[in-house]
Amino acid sequence: MSTESYEDALERLGELLSNKSDLGNKVAAKIKKLFGELEEFESKKSSDAFLVFACSDSRVSPSHILNFQPGEAFIVRNIANMVPLYDKTQHSGTGAAMEYPITKLNVETILVIGHSRCGGIKGLMSIEDDSAPSRSVFIEDWVKIGTPAKNMIKQEYGDLSFEEQCTYCEKEAVNVTLGNLLSYPFVRERVMKGKLTIRGAHYDFVNGTFELWELDVKTTPACFFS
């Protein structure tokens, strides 16, 4: 049983409340500073240099990984950081999220970031029959965007473990998205004019590594430039 007196307990409670008040003041000051920075950015014309596609996985926040500050990057997050082929009638949300930063903000770089232990890629690699009815309302149809990557990995690395295949597919699915980006006329036009660069990346949060590569236009299927 505690031997602390009533007076001592009151004193400690007072210290606790005082510390809490100090903490609240510090937090309030930081919030005020942040709002000031945001107002400054708002007063200027947006000059985002990057359009970033990243996974919705909470472990891989691109702002945290690359230390983006407000106004530096226009970020789009979805399952397995994928971009479908250009189609006006489907996936219009993705198209709109691309069109605005590219045609209005004039971003200079598109960066697609894959990551380790991606659940979306694991789901893709687990689909045994691509023609079978989907077992989910949206997820399977979405991750099937990466089917070309899955097929290539199964063919080239079929002797590896499932986990190793998934790691390879995490990177190859990024390459599929890089190619798909070129099916969008407003992307392709700017890439061909040298106004836009497309890069892929893979973040391994287990080993703490970040790989970065650039789309090789010379090896990209000619159909994207027709």
pLDDT tens figures, 82-97: 999 999 778 889 999 9
**Residue 115 assigned ligand-binding role:** yes
Domain locations in the chain as residue ranges: 1-44, 45-225
pLDDT tens-place string over residues 6-26? 667 667 777 766 666 665 566
| 57 annotated as a binding-site residue | yes
Q: How far apart, in whole angstroms, are the C-alpha atoms of residue 207 and residue 95?
A: 33
**8 A C-beta contact, residue 122 and residue 210:** no
The CATH H-level superfamily of 45-225 is Carbonic anhydrase (3.40.1050.10)
DSSP state, residue 212: E
Residue 223 known to bind ligand: no
Reference 155, options 164, 146, 165, 145; nearest CA is: 165
Q: According to the model, what pLDDT value does residue 20 have?
A: 62
55 is in an annotated binding site: yes
